[in-house]
Amino acid sequence: MNLKTMFFSVSLALGGAAAVTAALAASEQDAARLGKDLTPVGAERAGNKDGTIPAWTGGDMKAPAGWKTGAPRPDPYANDKRLFAIDASNVDRYKDKLAPGQLEMIKSIPGYRMDVFQSRRSCGYPDFFYERTKKNAASARLGANGNDIAEALGAAVPFPVPHNGAEAVWNHKLHWRGEGFTITHAGFIPPKGSDSIGEAIVQEESEMSPMWSPSNKGVADAKGIEYQLLNVFTGPPSIAGDATLAQYNVGKPNDVWLYFSSQRRVRRAPTYQYDSPQLNTENLLVVDQYMQFNGPLDRYDWKLAGKKEMYVPYNTYRLNSPANKVDDVVKAKFFSRDHSRYELHRVWVVEATLKEGMRHMFPKRTLYIDEDTWMILVADMYDAQGKVWRTAEMGPYMAWEVPACVWAANASYDHVTRRMVLDRVLAGRKEPDWLAAREGRLKEAVFEPDGLRRATTR
């Protein structure tokens, strides 16, 4: 090795070491901000300059007096008065605080409006969650491909101070709702040009993950499993007994099994991901639209475009009460506007652009991620001409027994077909069991092909 080559090698090694040292120092500085100017999960603790977004003071962690776990969840803000409504007559006044898809929905759907209420930063989590999040701030990292999570403690926010879009999306993908839960809900796809809401598509859903355990030591400890899901359709009769079992993996394709009651057999579905149509949704939803976005990140480049103030669904207790009647909540074109609540919150904006050589029906997506929960509250999906194709919304509410902010009802509107999918409706059902895994009512064995057979032949 000549002197010049040796000098270059030493310089490169020293430069690499300096970069690692600088990255570690930056991570430690990020961690030191948590619980100070940032909340324990990485949101801005202070309110905004106008006072329309309040400071975070710990969240509303205490259940209303007299409420017991399992009973219909009361709305602690039922006495809040509507501040104003955004509709077709005044929407341009508020367009800087709306997603393009929201703007289009208000302009194009007759009778659609957004009722805006006082902003309440109600979401909070247990102390152990905050402690683990602080550890992640200093040590969590993505893999060399920039897509997969390589190291992070579960039951925590992986990247409370994200430096790129992929980190922010992983915060959403691993947002915590307890150790595992069961929920019975209904979906509705109102027929086009009809005042009918359509048949109820009823599902019994279970979700669990080793990454949600407070004792999780990281991705390796979770055996590379992001989370597991079992959906069993119980109605209408034409699809009753059909089921989906999915294991979402880190760094490799998801494992999916399907059961069709008419065939009475379980079969592997290796292509049921990305933009494959979701079962029983009339091609109005694709697989990676579940939870606004799920599955591998590898087909997109992810840009963290900054933050903005935005009107988003929030504190959705009224919409998600099982005590509601279905007809009161589900309308022919959208969720009841009288049951829907919007608030002004700060959101991270992540822009996903399809990589060269990759294929997906949505070449571009924009995700609006709540700073206090890391949930994607609004998602816009675009077509090849750059026009908004679909817009999806969901809003958090506090499950005091966990404690964590959770979600149920969500809506996806197709701007081309002018049709809405209204999903995970709790009206007329029962309160979700957010403690099912913690208290032993949900077992890991459910999420195996044999468990799928047992669930569909009960």
Residue 270 pLDDT: 83
Contacts of 405 (CB under 8 A, 6+ apart): 122, 123, 124, 177, 372, 373, 375, 396, 397, 398, 399
Where in the chain are the domains?
84-456
Residue where the block lists tokens 């602080």: 134
Residue ranges of the chain whose pLDDT lies below 50 = 3-4, 8, 12, 16-17, 19-22
Query: Of 184, 198, 274, which is closest to residue 232 (Cα–Cα)?
Result: 184
Q: How many residues does the structure list for the chain?
A: 458
Residue 20 pLDDT: 47
Q: What DSSP state is assigned to residue 268? A: E
Residue 264 pLDDT: 81
Cα separation, 158 vs 431, whole angstroms:
29
Report yes or no: 105 and 113 within 8 Å, Cβ to Cβ.
no
Report yes or no: 345 and 309 within 8 Å, Cβ to Cβ.
yes
Q: Which amino acid does the sequence have at 47?
A: G
Query: Of 251, 396, 377, 374, which is closest to residue 319 (Cα–Cα)?
Result: 396
Residue where the block lists tokens 């980190």: 167
Domain 84-456 indexed as CATH 2.50.20.10: yes
389 exposed, middle or buried (CB, 10 Å; 0-12, 13-18, 19+)?
A: buried
* Token code pair at residue 99: 């997603």
Cα separation, 359 vs 355, whole angstroms:
8
Q: What DSSP state is assigned to residue 422? A: E
HSE-CB at 361 with a 13 A cutoff on CA atoms is: 14
Crossing angle of helices 127-139 and 3-33, rounded to 10°: 160
Residue 266 pLDDT: 87
3-state secondary structure at position 24: helix
180 exposed, middle or buried (CB, 10 Å; 0-12, 13-18, 19+)?
A: buried
The overall longest dimension of the chain from CA atoms, in Å, is 81
* Token code pair at residue 334: 């959208």
At 224-264, the pLDDT tens digits run 999 999 999 999 999 999 999 999 999 888 899 999 888 88
Q: pTM for the complete prediction?
A: 0.94
At 89-99, the pLDDT tens digits run 999 999 999 99
Using the Cα atoms of residue 142, residue 148, residue 152 and residue 156 in order, give the sign of their dihedral. positive
Q: What HEC string does the chain produce?
A: CCHHHHHHHHHHHHHHHHHHHHHHHHHHHHHHHECCCECCCCCECCCCCCCCCCCCCCCCCCCCCCCCCCCCCCCCCCCCCCCEEECCCCHHHHHHHCCHHHHHHHHHCCCCCEEECCCCCCCCCCHHHHHHHHHHHHHCEECCCCCCEEECCCCCCCCCCCCCHHHHHHHHHCCCCCCEEEEEEEEECCCCCCCCCCCCEEEEEEEECHHHCCCCCCCCCCCCEEEEEEEEEEECCCCCCCEEEEEEECCCCCEEEEEECCCCEEEECCCCCCCCECCCCCCCCEHHHCCCCCCCCCCEEEEEEEEEEEEEECCCCCCCCCCCCHHHHECCCCECHHHCCEEEEEEEEEEEEECCCCCCCCCEEEEEEECCCCCEEEEEEECCCCCEEEEEEECCEEECCCCEEECCCEEEEECCCCEEEEEEECCCCCCCECCCCCCCCCCHHHHCHHHHHHHHCC
